[in-house]
Amino acid sequence: MKFGHFDDKAREYVITDPKTPYPWINYLGNEDFFSLVSNTGGGYSFYKDAKFRRLTRYRYNNVPVDNGGKYFYINDGGDVWSPGWKPVKAELDAYSCAHGLSYTRITGERNGIQAEVLSFIPLGTWAEIQKVSLKNTSGAAKKFKLFSFAEWCLWNAEDDMTNFQRNFSTGEVEVEDSVIYHKTEFKERRNHYAFYSVNAPIQGFDTDRDKWKGLYNDFDKPDAVFEGEPRNSEAHGWSPIASHYLEVELAPGESKDLIFVLGYIEVAPENKWESKGVINKSPAKELIARFDSVEKVDAELTKLADYWANLLSTYSVESGDEKLDRMVNIWNQYQCMVTFNMSRSASFFESGIGRGMGFRDSNQDLIGFVHQVPERARERIIDIASTQFEDGSAYHQYQPLTKRGNNAIGGNFNDDPLWLILSTTDYIKETGDFSILEEQVPYDNDASKATSHFEHLKRSFYHTVNNLGPHGLPLIGRADWNDCLNLNCFSEDPNESFQTTGNKTGRTAESLMIAGLFVLYGNEFVKLCREIGQDGEAAEAQAHIDQMVEAVKKHGWDGEWFLRAYDYYGKKVGSKENEEGKIFIESQGFCGMAGIGLEDGLVEKSMDSVKEWLDCDYGIVLQQPAFTKYYIEYGEISTYPAGYKENAGIFCHNNPWIMITETLLGRGDKAFEYYRKIAPAYLEEISDLHKVEPYAYCQMIAGKDAYLPGEGKNSWLTGTASWNFAAITQYILGVKPDYSGLAINPCIPSSWDGFKVTRKYRGATYNITVTNPSHVSKGVKSLTLNGNAIDGYIVPPQQAGTVCNVEVTLG
Ligand code: GLC
Ligand code: GLC
């Protein structure tokens, strides 16, 4: 069952039934100021950091779902409704919500009034614009009342939800003309305030939530709205809001646009006040003036559309499969921008107060983003590396506002450092910018301890070398990529977090996943060293990699697949000898991508085992058999019910590792079959089961052991976005940047006749046509550049500004 449709031309997903199986959301903003908006107008806004600079309030796990947002209410002669259906939930004569690239347009119509709310955040702007278009679609004149609504968060979103003994006394506002200012704590240490304005005279307002709403009412029944009488309330403490009241008159067929601006302002400490107790409003007024007409707003919308058209033009495919095209050309790239911006902080599953920017997560997010805005990728790499410790280890996350690492969700995840090699080498291959290696980068944000970025990579590599266990395999530490395989954490207290407590600090538990990671990105480190003429460094590193390969073959092969780990007692994890958890996906993916034992058929065998044990209708599950009891020596993984999350859920993040490994084996049919199973556009028809957005990947789909296999959860903020983008574009379609040019080596379903890709790379445009006359999956038989044959499959970088034609024949 579907709840809308894709409009590929407009690059929108258009929801036509407000009662989606879960709130289907969109992200507004691309740089500093962000909003989350659901298909019924729910959501919230923040500046840079969803925890420390939250502008509007949101209640989590609310009842009914998705309650609270930026709402509009229309009172049409006593008939009250909202254009987004919620919160009032009056039946609408027409409803649609178009989620586009960084904008959302919600339209509702009832009794001859059409109201459209178009929300977006202009580029380079710390404000959300809402263009509200009201139209009289009836044959008679209409006179009605419009109320806006936003509820302020008292800035620190966590404190705001917990510290009521203080917060109910601190809220402060000012109202001047049509602008409502939120100035809580401005008097003391905050040099920032927020405002909500409209570009028309108002006939009333409210700033005290409970006076406006009535203490015992929900958002669907605010007294002021239903009585058509604003209270002109002034908030002192309690819960400050911003609600404008406007009386609107429209002749038949007439329409009117209003521009609302929700903005964030920072002022220098010496310029905070206009007069005693009165905030300096001039920067707010300047910001409002930039958007005070429809023409100005439309011009910004055009800029935003151009921005996205340009970003997406870097990689596009014509495959003949519209679902594939819309994933690659629009939605997957869009999600990669969102994960780049948010990491794992703010979604409808991540509260914005829990997790910030993950060390491993943000590095991986870059592989789907670096082609979009390489300069921002570069800055991010340096930010991440700046939180690294001198021994190469890492804080697991940092807060975007401060850019400082913290231990809030633990540390000592021994995979963390290696991901820095992935992001950096991908960046250099994309841009050719080796200068990043010479950048002076601090440790633990202490500039006095800075070294070159290259030295950071070296320490990442040697962090593994310096932390090997009894079998010469990498020690796992707290956990590796799988946050829930906690082999050194024997927890008996249900109030302990597996991420932060109970570490046994053993030096026995080893990870085959990190072993694969080390070989794969260690090889990248060696290649990089050779590129920059550090042959001695390369040779030294190579010796460690060779030893690791030997250790994996000797101690990490279980006969038909790679082991997952050795536990605290030195016992095998992920072996046929185990009763549950015999085979895991991560080590098959990473040892496979690293090509360990490729020549001896190990990789092929392990992929066949994945197919046999882990594959199901909805994707590849994380391990089998699922754990049915709590294993204290394995930790959180065994806490989840079977089929969910890390306990045999379909963790969409690691499915592409298998796709990529299949392409190394030349098995394009299998790779693409796995791709289709989890790519959201292919799941649109089963939206009622899948539950989450058909235009965004989710972290987890319930696996075959679950109560409801196929049900998705935790959409948007997941490494799934970047990894699937890499799998489809670089390995299946096979267009991948390398140091010496653009490699084109597809691995596709044998039934395909071919496809076309346009790739912008280091300033030149490559129009690539791949034909597959003999219906193979892999193998470049010939390649021409502007008609001239090239040996191999790497097209050297062409001059910036030029357009070239590349013809590839498989066979
Ligand atoms: C979550 C985390 C990620 C981790 C994965 C597996 O997605 O963000 O860091 O690798 O879970 O546990
Ligand atoms: C839980 C989740 C895992 C996530 C981790 C982050 O363990 O299962 O997916 O990565 O929390 O803190």
Q: Tell me, what's the pLDDT at 787? A: 98
Write down the pLDDT at residue 411: 82
Q: Give the other-Cβ count within 10 Å of 278's Cβ.
A: 12
Task: State the distance from the centre of ligand 1 to the C-alpha of 482, rounded, in angstroms.
Answer: 6
- What's the angle, vertex CA 130, arms to CA 129 and CA 131, rounded to 5? 115
Q: Which residues line ligand 2 (CB under 6 A)?
A: 409, 483-484, 499, 636, 645-646
Mean pLDDT of the chain: 97
Say if residue 502's pLDDT is above 70.
no
Does the model's pTM come out above 0.85? yes
Is the predicted pLDDT of residue 9 greater than 90, yes or no? yes
Which residues participate in catalysis according to the annotation? Answer: 483
pLDDT of 413 over the 70 cut: yes
Q: Which atom of ligand 1 is nearest to the CA of 344?
A: 8
In tens, the pLDDT along 687-710 reads: 999 999 999 999 999 999 999 999
Under the banding of pLDDT at 50, 70 and 90, the label for residue 564 is: very high
Q: What is the pLDDT of residue 741?
A: 98
Q: Report the residue count for the chain.
A: 811
Ligand 2 mean position to 155 CA, how many Å? 26
Backbone angles phi, psi at 396, to 5 degrees: -75, -20
Exposure of 216 by Cβ count < 10 A (0-12 exposed, 13-18 middle, 19+ buried)? exposed
> How high is the pLDDT of residue 356?
83
Q: Are 363 and 732 in contact (CB under 8 A)?
A: no
Choose the residue to mutate in 416, 644, 646 for probing ligand 2, maximizing ligand atoms within 8 Å of C-beta: 646
Q: What is the per-residue pLDDT across 11-36, written as a single tens digit (0 to 9) for each? A: 999 999 999 999 999 999 999 999 99
Mutation pick for ligand 2 pocket among 345, 483, 638 (CB with most ligand atoms within 8 Å): 483
Whether a cis peptide bond, with omega within 30° of 0, leads into 625 is yes
Strands (E), 336-494: 357-358, 395-399, 404-411, 440-443, 446-452
Section 575-592 average pLDDT: 98
Kindly report, residue by residue over 144-180, the tens digit of the pLDDT: 999 999 999 999 999 999 999 999 999 999 999 999 9
For the chain, first and last CA: distance in Å? 40
* Model confidence pLDDT, tens digit, residues 350-406: 999 988 899 999 999 999 999 999 999 999 999 999 999 999 999 999 988 889 998
- Reading the block at residue 224, the tokens are 């002021």
| Mean pLDDT score, 35-61 | 96
In this prediction, residue 504 has a pLDDT band, given cuts at 50, 70 and 90, of confident
Residue 766 Cα to ligand 1 middle (Å): 35
Task: With a cut of 90, say whether residue 427 has pLDDT above it.
Answer: yes
Q: Are the C-beta atoms of residues 586 and 479 closer than 8 Å to each other?
A: no
* Distance of alpha carbon 420 from alpha carbon 436, whole angstroms: 13
Q: Which ligand is nearest to the CA of 410?
A: 2
At 26, which helix (H) or strand (E)? strand 25-28
DSSP track, 722-781: HHHHHIIIIIIS-EEEETTEEEE--B--TT--EEEEEEEETTEEEEEEEE-TT--SB-EE
Q: What is the DSSP letter of 633?
A: T
- CA–CA separation, 15 and 40 (whole Å): 10
Nearby residues of 598 by Cβ (< 8 Å), 6 or more positions away: 604, 664
Which amino acid would we find at residue 149? F
Exposed / middle / buried, residue 222 (Cβ in 10 Å: 0-12, 13-18, 19+)? buried
What mean pLDDT is predicted for residues 729-743? 98
Interval 197-234: pLDDT, tens:
999 999 999 999 999 999 999 999 999 999 999 999 99
pLDDT of residue 71: 98
What is the C-alpha to C-alpha distance for residues 354 and 582, in angstroms, rounded to an integer? 33
